Amino acid sequence: MRFEPTELTEVELALQREVREFLAAELPRGSSTPGLGMNAGRDPAFSRRLAQRGWVGMALPRRYGGGDRSAVERFVVVEELLRWGAPVGHHWVADRQTGPVINRFGTEAQKERFLPPICRGELSFSIGMSEPDSGSDLASVQTRATRVEGGWLLGGTKIWTSGAHVNDWFIVLCRTSDEPDRHQGLSQLLVDLRSKGLRVNPIRFLDGTEHFNEVVLSDVFVPDDLVLGEVGQGWAQNTSELAHERGGPTAGCPRTWSWSSSCESARARRWTRARRRCWAMRPRAGGACASCRSRWRGRSTAGRRPARSRRW
């Protein structure tokens, strides 16, 4: 596989200048404590101001309040926010992965309910994957949802749940049936962090501050309309969510990217003081969004996994 660098377009460079001017006016140097991504400060008002400029939910569909912008445009904005250390903690997870996952797997009712407030910078999400005995081996999760009339009763414990003490919702990976292959029988549920039977126990740092949490679920009722995607398809859906989480500042092309999708987004690979160059990855199979397709350079074979990225 070969990649050729392409320069940012005039439109993208203008967007970069606009974001820098906005941040210089909103957050003058020394006026706030810099942070990084989901560990940055939490400022719901700042998140809403970003959203008013169309910089939250940028690549989500316009009909749900998103911007239908390209992955490169989203990268430009997120890169500047990270460079400035902006307080993006309130909307970070929802914008990076929850919104794209709901857009890909959610019902129409779920999209209409959750995506507009995400795009307005109003709704915050945590991640409900890790458990005391299930970290990188997520197929071993023990949190279980049992079917009851009208929905599910959810029981178990999640841990290292960033922001659960202040966020609104989280997507819980849980077991809904016992199967010979432990990667099967998993599902994802949308759970309100203020639900009856849910308890959040902060895990405090040495200085007394809170970020991580233990979330204990004791017969939490989750209605059927909050099952995300298909029952039993949680492993595939969760892998797609991780692709957004681990995919770098762009977190993939939110409209299309999962491990099995047809389009893998443009991502930044290298930059210098003088200029920044965006690289684009060829698709694993045919078809892609126009914004990514227009940037491809090089060759690959359909069906072949893209080559491993170089270290930055």
Segments of the chain assigned E as strands: 6-7, 125-128, 144-148, 151-158, 169-175, 186-192, 198-204, 210-223, 227-228, 267-271, 276-279
**Euclidean distance between CA atoms 250 and 159, whole angstroms:** 26
Annotated catalytic residue within 73, 131, 241, 245: 245
Q: Please report where in the chains the tokens 């596989």 appear, as a residue.
A: 1
User: Tokens representing 189?
Assistant: 């549920």
Separation CA 37–CA 90 (nearest Å)? 10
Length of the chain: 312
How many helices and strands in the chain, by DSSP H and E? Answer: 8, 11
Helix (H, G, I), strand (E, B) or coil at 120: coil
CB 9 within 8 A of CB 16: no
**Catalytic status, residue 245:** yes
Residue type, 254: P
Determine the residue type at 210: E
Q: At what angle do helices 10-26 and 71-84 cross, to 10 degrees?
A: 30
> In Å, what is the CA distance from 128 to each residue of 172, 173, 176, 190, 232?
4, 6, 15, 9, 17
Q: What residues are annotated to the active site? A: 245
